[in-house]
Protein backbone atom coordinates (compact mmCIF):
# COMPACT_ATOMS: atom_id res chain seq x y z
CA UNK A 1 0.00 0.00 0.00
CA UNK A 2 1.40 3.41 -0.98
CA UNK A 3 1.66 6.15 1.63
CA UNK A 4 -0.89 8.63 0.31
CA UNK A 5 -0.22 12.36 0.16
CA UNK A 6 -2.77 14.42 2.04
CA UNK A 7 -4.63 16.64 -0.45
CA UNK A 8 -7.29 19.33 -0.57
CA UNK A 9 -9.55 19.99 -3.56
CA UNK A 10 -10.72 23.55 -4.26
CA UNK A 11 -14.06 23.93 -6.03
CA UNK A 12 -16.58 26.62 -6.94
CA UNK A 13 -19.37 24.72 -8.64
CA UNK A 14 -20.77 21.41 -9.70
CA UNK A 15 -17.65 19.53 -8.73
CA UNK A 16 -17.81 16.75 -11.32
CA UNK A 17 -14.00 16.69 -11.40
CA UNK A 18 -13.98 16.50 -7.60
CA UNK A 19 -16.36 13.54 -7.76
CA UNK A 20 -14.14 11.73 -10.23
CA UNK A 21 -11.10 12.39 -7.99
CA UNK A 22 -12.95 11.08 -4.94
CA UNK A 23 -13.73 7.91 -6.90
CA UNK A 24 -10.10 7.50 -8.06
CA UNK A 25 -8.77 8.13 -4.57
CA UNK A 26 -10.54 5.00 -3.33
CA UNK A 27 -8.03 2.97 -5.31
CA UNK A 28 -5.44 1.68 -2.84
CA UNK A 29 -2.55 2.82 -5.03
CA UNK A 30 -3.88 6.24 -6.01
CA UNK A 31 -1.20 8.66 -4.72
CA UNK A 32 -3.41 11.18 -2.92
CA UNK A 33 -5.95 11.03 -0.13
CA UNK A 34 -8.62 13.74 -0.19
CA UNK A 35 -8.64 15.07 3.35
CA UNK A 36 -10.43 18.35 2.71
CA UNK A 37 -12.62 20.17 0.20
CA UNK A 38 -12.71 23.95 0.19
CA UNK A 39 -15.33 25.90 -1.74
CA UNK A 40 -15.86 29.62 -2.19
CA UNK A 41 -19.47 28.88 -3.14
CA UNK A 42 -21.70 27.66 -0.32
CA UNK A 43 -24.15 26.13 -2.82
CA UNK A 44 -21.55 24.09 -4.74
CA UNK A 45 -22.98 20.62 -5.39
CA UNK A 46 -19.51 19.16 -4.84
CA UNK A 47 -19.73 20.14 -1.16
CA UNK A 48 -22.88 18.07 -0.68
CA UNK A 49 -21.32 15.10 -2.44
CA UNK A 50 -18.10 15.28 -0.42
CA UNK A 51 -20.00 15.62 2.87
CA UNK A 52 -22.07 12.58 1.98
CA UNK A 53 -18.81 10.71 1.52
CA UNK A 54 -17.48 11.84 4.91
CA UNK A 55 -14.85 14.19 3.53
CA UNK A 56 -14.40 17.34 5.63
CA UNK A 57 -15.69 20.40 3.76
CA UNK A 58 -15.27 24.10 4.37
CA UNK A 59 -16.86 27.12 2.77
CA UNK A 60 -15.01 30.44 2.86
CA UNK A 61 -16.20 33.53 1.08
CA UNK A 62 -13.63 34.79 -1.43
CA UNK A 63 -15.08 38.29 -1.75
CA UNK A 64 -12.00 39.35 0.16
CA UNK A 65 -9.31 37.22 -1.49
CA UNK A 66 -6.56 37.83 1.03
CA UNK A 67 -8.86 36.85 3.89
CA UNK A 68 -9.93 33.75 1.94
CA UNK A 69 -6.30 32.78 1.40
CA UNK A 70 -5.39 33.42 5.04
CA UNK A 71 -8.27 31.20 6.20
CA UNK A 72 -7.29 28.46 3.75
CA UNK A 73 -3.64 28.58 4.72
CA UNK A 74 -4.42 28.26 8.41
CA UNK A 75 -6.68 25.28 7.82
CA UNK A 76 -4.29 23.57 5.38
CA UNK A 77 -1.39 23.92 7.79
CA UNK A 78 -3.47 22.73 10.72
CA UNK A 79 -4.47 19.63 8.78
CA UNK A 80 -0.95 19.10 7.37
CA UNK A 81 -2.20 19.11 3.79
CA UNK A 82 0.59 18.88 1.24
CA UNK A 83 -1.05 18.99 -2.20
CA UNK A 84 -3.83 21.11 -3.71
CA UNK A 85 -5.99 20.37 -6.74
CA UNK A 86 -8.12 23.12 -8.25
CA UNK A 87 -11.20 21.64 -9.88
CA UNK A 88 -13.48 24.27 -11.36
CA UNK A 89 -12.21 26.76 -8.78
CA UNK A 90 -13.03 30.16 -10.22
CA UNK A 91 -10.55 32.43 -8.41
CA UNK A 92 -6.99 33.31 -9.27
CA UNK A 93 -4.76 32.54 -6.27
CA UNK A 94 -2.12 35.12 -5.34
CA UNK A 95 1.64 34.77 -5.62
CA UNK A 96 1.81 35.01 -1.82
CA UNK A 97 -0.46 32.04 -1.37
CA UNK A 98 1.12 29.93 -4.13
CA UNK A 99 4.64 30.30 -2.71
CA UNK A 100 3.53 28.17 0.26
CA UNK A 101 2.85 25.26 -2.11
CA UNK A 102 5.50 25.52 -4.82
CA UNK A 103 4.78 22.90 -7.51
CA UNK A 104 2.18 21.45 -5.17
CA UNK A 105 -0.89 23.08 -6.74
CA UNK A 106 -2.38 21.78 -9.97
CA UNK A 107 -5.40 22.80 -12.05
CA UNK A 108 -7.49 21.43 -14.90
CA UNK A 109 -8.53 23.64 -17.81
CA UNK A 110 -10.93 22.78 -20.65
CA UNK A 111 -8.67 23.66 -23.59
CA UNK A 112 -5.39 22.65 -25.13
CA UNK A 113 -3.21 25.13 -23.26
CA UNK A 114 -1.52 27.49 -23.98
CA UNK A 115 -4.45 28.10 -26.33
CA UNK A 116 -7.71 29.54 -24.96
CA UNK A 117 -6.81 30.45 -21.40
CA UNK A 118 -9.59 31.88 -19.25
CA UNK A 119 -13.36 31.73 -19.47
CA UNK A 120 -15.84 30.82 -22.25
CA UNK A 121 -13.33 28.43 -23.73
CA UNK A 122 -15.65 26.30 -25.87
CA UNK A 123 -17.40 29.32 -27.38
CA UNK A 124 -14.05 30.81 -28.41
CA UNK A 125 -12.76 27.48 -29.73
CA UNK A 126 -15.82 27.13 -31.99
CA UNK A 127 -15.69 30.75 -33.10
CA UNK A 128 -12.07 30.26 -34.08
CA UNK A 129 -13.04 27.20 -36.16
CA UNK A 130 -10.48 25.00 -34.42
CA UNK A 131 -10.14 21.43 -35.62
CA UNK A 132 -9.21 20.08 -32.20
CA UNK A 133 -9.86 20.95 -28.59
CA UNK A 134 -9.32 19.11 -25.31
CA UNK A 135 -8.17 19.62 -21.77
CA UNK A 136 -4.96 20.27 -19.87
CA UNK A 137 -3.71 19.62 -16.35
CA UNK A 138 -1.00 22.07 -15.30
CA UNK A 139 0.88 23.39 -12.29
CA UNK A 140 -0.50 26.63 -10.91
CA UNK A 141 1.51 29.81 -10.96
CA UNK A 142 0.23 33.35 -10.35
CA UNK A 143 -0.68 33.85 -14.03
CA UNK A 144 -4.01 32.60 -15.36
CA UNK A 145 -3.78 29.03 -16.78
CA UNK A 146 -0.09 29.55 -17.48
CA UNK A 147 1.89 27.12 -15.28
CA UNK A 148 3.95 24.17 -16.55
CA UNK A 149 1.88 21.58 -18.33
CA UNK A 150 1.59 18.07 -16.87
CA UNK A 151 -0.73 16.30 -19.36
CA UNK A 152 -3.12 17.14 -22.19
CA UNK A 153 -5.87 15.19 -23.95
CA UNK A 154 -6.84 16.17 -27.48
CA UNK A 155 -10.22 15.51 -29.10
CA UNK A 156 -11.45 16.11 -32.62
CA UNK A 157 -14.24 18.67 -33.01
CA UNK A 158 -16.99 17.38 -35.30
CA UNK A 159 -19.32 19.40 -37.47
CA UNK A 160 -22.31 18.76 -35.19
CA UNK A 161 -20.55 20.11 -32.09
CA UNK A 162 -21.93 23.15 -30.31
CA UNK A 163 -20.85 24.77 -27.06
CA UNK A 164 -22.90 22.36 -24.99
CA UNK A 165 -21.80 19.17 -26.69
CA UNK A 166 -18.18 20.28 -26.57
CA UNK A 167 -18.44 21.08 -22.87
CA UNK A 168 -19.84 17.58 -22.23
CA UNK A 169 -17.30 15.80 -24.41
CA UNK A 170 -14.35 17.69 -22.93
CA UNK A 171 -15.59 17.25 -19.35
CA UNK A 172 -15.75 13.49 -19.88
CA UNK A 173 -12.08 13.57 -20.86
CA UNK A 174 -11.22 15.85 -17.92
CA UNK A 175 -12.51 13.19 -15.53
CA UNK A 176 -10.04 10.69 -16.96
CA UNK A 177 -7.14 13.10 -17.44
CA UNK A 178 -7.12 14.62 -13.94
CA UNK A 179 -6.52 11.30 -12.19
CA UNK A 180 -3.95 10.26 -14.80
CA UNK A 181 -2.08 13.53 -14.27
CA UNK A 182 -2.02 13.04 -10.50
CA UNK A 183 -0.63 9.54 -10.93
CA UNK A 184 2.04 10.91 -13.26
CA UNK A 185 3.01 13.71 -10.84
CA UNK A 186 3.79 11.16 -8.12
CA UNK A 187 5.35 8.48 -10.31
C1 LIG B 1 -14.30 22.18 -15.85
O2 LIG B 1 -14.48 22.25 -17.25
C3 LIG B 1 -12.95 22.72 -15.47
O4 LIG B 1 -11.94 22.40 -16.38
C5 LIG B 1 -13.19 24.20 -15.49
O6 LIG B 1 -14.49 24.35 -14.92
C7 LIG B 1 -15.24 23.16 -15.15
C8 LIG B 1 -15.66 22.69 -13.79
O9 LIG B 1 -16.44 21.56 -13.81
N10 LIG B 1 -12.13 24.91 -14.83
P11 LIG B 1 -16.76 20.75 -12.48
O12 LIG B 1 -17.13 21.78 -11.40
O13 LIG B 1 -15.56 19.96 -12.08
O14 LIG B 1 -17.94 19.90 -12.84
User: What is the tens place of the pLDDT at every residue in 103-157?
Assistant: 999 999 999 999 999 999 999 999 999 999 999 999 999 999 999 999 999 999 9
Probe residue for ligand 1, chosen from 9, 119, 171, 177 as the CB with the greatest number of ligand atoms within 8 Å: 171
Residue with the nearest Cα to atom 1 of ligand 1?
88
List pLDDT tens digits, range 30-70: 999 999 999 999 999 999 999 999 999 999 999 999 999 99
- Give the C-alpha separation, 136 to 80, whole Å: 28
| Secondary structure of the chain as H, E, C letters | CCCCEEEEEEECCCCHHHHHHHHHHCCCCCCEEEEEEEECCCCCHHHHHHHHCCCCEEECCCCCHHHHHHHHHHHHHHCCCCEEEECCCCCCCCHHHHHHHCCCEEEEECCCCCCCCCCCHHHHHHHCCCCEEEEEEEECCCCCCCCCEEEEEEEECCCCCCHHHHHHHHHHHHHHHHHHHHHHHCC
Q: Find out whether the beta carbon of 147 lies less than 6 Å from any atom of ligand 1.
A: no
Q: Which residues of 40-66 are buried (b: 16+ CB within 10 A; e: fewer)?
A: bbeebbbbebbeeeebebeebebeeee
- Is pTM beyond 0.75? Reply is yes
Q: Give the pLDDT confidence score for residue 12 in this predicted structure.
A: 98
Convert the pLDDT of each residue in 153-180 to its tens digit: 999 999 999 999 999 999 999 999 999 9
- Give yes or no for residue 2 having a pLDDT over 80: no
pLDDT of residue 46: 96
Which atom of ligand 1 is found nearest the CA of 174?
Answer: 4
Report CA(87)–ligand 1 centroid distance (Å). Answer: 6
**How does residue 1 score in pLDDT terms, banded at 50, 70 and 90?**
low
Amino acid sequence: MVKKISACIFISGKGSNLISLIKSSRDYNFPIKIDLVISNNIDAYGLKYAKKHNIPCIYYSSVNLSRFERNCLMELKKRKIKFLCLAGFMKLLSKNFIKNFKYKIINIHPSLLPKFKGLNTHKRVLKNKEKYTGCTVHYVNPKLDAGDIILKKKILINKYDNENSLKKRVLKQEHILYSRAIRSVFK
